Amino acid sequence: MKIFGFVETYKLLQGIHYVTGVKVEPKDYENLQCMSLALFLLLTANGVLSPLRDTMGAIKGNIDVSYLISLSTVIMIVINPVTSYIAIRRTAKEMGKLYLRGASVVCASILVCFLFCSSIDYLTVPFFFVWTNVHSVLSVSAVWAISGDVLNLRQSRSYLALLSLAASAGHIFGAALVSFFTVLDFNIKYALVLPVILLELCFRAYSAALSLSFKNSKSSRKNSNKKKTYTACVAFSSMYTVCIVFFTVCYSLCLTILYLEKIKALSGFTPNDKASAFASMNFSGSVATILLQIFFTGRLLSNASTTFSLMLLPGAFTLGFVLIFVWKNNPVGAIFFLEILRRLVAYGIVKPVRELLYQILDRGEKYGTKALNDSIARKAGDIVAPLYVLLSTRWRMLNTASVCAFWCILAIYLGITFDTRTKFLESKRSGVVDKKTR
Q: pLDDT (tens digit, 9 = 90+) per residue, 175-216?
A: 788 777 767 666 667 788 899 999 999 999 999 888 877 653
Q: Is the CA virtual torsion 181, 182, 188, 192 positive or negative?
A: positive
Q: What is the pLDDT of residue 186?
A: 64
Residues 6+ apart with CB under 8 A from 397: 321, 325
Q: What is the pLDDT of residue 218?
A: 44
Neighbouring C-alpha atoms within 13 Å toward the C-beta of 74:
6
- Asked if residue 136 lies in contact with residue 50, where contact means CB atoms within 8 angstroms, the answer is yes
Q: What is the pLDDT of residue 340?
A: 87
Q: What is the pLDDT of residue 393?
A: 61
Residues 6+ apart with CB under 8 A from 314: 250, 254, 404, 407, 408, 411
Residue 207: closest CA among 150, 157, 154: 150
1-214 and 229-431 have identical folds = yes
Residues 6+ apart with CB under 8 A from 360: 153, 418, 421, 422, 425
Q: What is the dihedral of CA 410, 377, 144, 308, to 10 degrees?
A: -20
Write the pLDDT tens digit of every residue in 215-256.
534 434 443 444 454 445 677 778 999 999 999 989 988 888
Q: Which CATH number fits domain 1-214: 2.60.40, 1.10.3470, 3.40.50, 1.20.1250?
A: 1.20.1250
Q: For residue 224, report the phi and psi dihedrals to the nearest 5 degrees.
A: -70, -20
User: In whole angstroms, how large is the CA radius of gyration of the chain?
Assistant: 22
Q: What is the pLDDT of residue 151?
A: 75
pTM: 0.79
Distance of alpha carbon 343 from alpha carbon 345, whole angstroms: 6
CA 228 to chain centre: 28
| DSSP code at position 4 | S
Architecture of 229-431 per CATH? Answer: Up-down Bundle (1.20)
Q: Give whole-number Cα distances, 127 to 106, 188, 367, in Å.
A: 11, 17, 27
Which residues in the chain land under pLDDT 70? 1-13, 17, 56-66, 152-156, 182, 184-188, 214-233, 271-276, 278-279, 382, 384-394, 429-438
Q: What is the pLDDT of residue 3?
A: 43
Task: Give SS3 for 29.
Answer: helix
Domain ranges of the chain: 1-214, 229-431
